[in-house]
């Protein structure tokens, strides 16, 4: 397993990370334990979770994912070997379905401190290595939104959020901080505030990145390389779509897009067209389509860790095996040909 520096921090994270958002909904605690045991045995040291998980968010299950991880950490005694990341939920009207978290989460100081304390309790640890803002407080584009329309709103100012995160770090409850689902302006503003007010710099940004969602290449990639902010790439398989299992209208039993109609981001016609071409390309090269898609993400110079999300052990084992796939110049050229003909169908 390759290990990479996370931004300007002293954290070394595995190039493949373990995503956890199905634990407590599609996966039981025993299944989560099996995934964590196997991942660690394969060299994965980076676990990513959130107070909101599992997904889809529901009051009955909220916090279950962190609770499972906490039980595992307590039973295995390996806390110091794991780079553990969690997230604080943002403004409720920008992500419907999370009103049960603190009666409507916001990114102000009071709520951030309440959130980290609750997460640490569930995780059965005194600190997380990385504490992330799950999505912006302000009205902007994320979760696949396009066509930005500027408007003034009553969002908590980033400066207040960053000062609260600084206090969390000062108290020893988090070693480093990060952001998620952010824009180029957001990254720049966080960095400028940190420099101006001597506050912690962000070490990471967790945004979507995959063969069908490469918007990060434009703007954000350069900013993050120059400012040393590592990308934690989520949805590298576009919710499993890039495996090809949903092509031609297929609905595999117990698959995420079969079970939940919440996830429509990767199911449009343009995405299906592109996926069919990527699957055909992988087949011509004798590769598993999902492994090729994952290997492409891992190969990007701005990616610190590629977050795997699996509901079965067979999926997890195959996904981790993607580390042996090499994206040759010829293969990358063919990938880019497909991308250029149908760019970013699932932003």
Burial label for 100, CB within 10 Å (0-12, 13-18, 19+), is middle
Contact, 195 vs 295, CB < 8 A?
no
Per the listing, tokens 């699996």 go with: 310
Instruction: For residue 131, indicate whether it is catalytic.
Output: no
Rounded CA separation 112/118 (Å)? 10
Catalytic residue among 38, 53, 131, 246: 53
Distances (CA, A) of 101 to 90, 111, 139: 10, 10, 20
Please list the active-site residues: 53
């Amino acid at each position: 397993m390759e290990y990479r520096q996370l931004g300007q921090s002293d954290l070394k994270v595995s190039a493949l990370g373990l995503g956890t958002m199905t634990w407590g909904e599609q996966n039981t605690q025993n299944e989560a334990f099996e995934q964590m045991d196997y991942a660690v045995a394969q060299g994965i040291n980076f676990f990513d979770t959130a107070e909101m998980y599992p997904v889809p968010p529901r009051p009955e299950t909220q916090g279950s994912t962190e609770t499972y991880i906490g039980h595992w950490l307590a039973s295995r005694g390996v806390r110091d070997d794991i780079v553990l990341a969690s997230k604080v939920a943002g403004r409720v009207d920008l992500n419907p379905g999370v009103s049960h978290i603190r009666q409507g989460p916001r990114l102000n100081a009071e709520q951030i401190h309440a959130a980290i304390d609750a997460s640490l309790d569930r995780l059965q640890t005194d600190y997380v290595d990385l504490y992330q803002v799950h999505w912006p407080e302000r009205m902007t584009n994320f979760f696949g939104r396009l066509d930005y329309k500027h408007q003034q709103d009553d969002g908590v100012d980033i400066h207040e959020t960053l000062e609260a995160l600084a206090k969390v770090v000062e108290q020893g409850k988090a070693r480093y901080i990060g952001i998620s689902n952010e824009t180029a302006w957001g990254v720049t503003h966080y960095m400028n505030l940190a420099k101006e007010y001597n506050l912690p710099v962000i070490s990471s940004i967790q945004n979507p990145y995959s063969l069908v969602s490469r918007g990060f290449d434009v703007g954000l990639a350069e900013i993050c390389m120059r400012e040393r902010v590592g990308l934690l790439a989520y949805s590298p398989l576009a919710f499993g779509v890039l495996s090809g299992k949903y092509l031609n209208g297929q609905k595999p039993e117990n698959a995420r897009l079969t079970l939940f109609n919440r996830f429509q981001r990767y199911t449009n016609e343009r995405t299906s067209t592109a996926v069919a071409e990527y699957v055909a390309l992988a087949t011509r090269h004798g590769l598993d389509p999902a492994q090729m898609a994952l290997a492409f993400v891992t190969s990007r110079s701005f990616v610190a860790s590629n977050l795997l999300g699996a509901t079965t052990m067979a999926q997890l084992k195959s996904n981790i095996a993607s580390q042996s796939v090499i994206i040759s110049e010829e293969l990358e050229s063919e990938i880019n040909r497909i991308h250029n003909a149908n760019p970013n169908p699932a932003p």
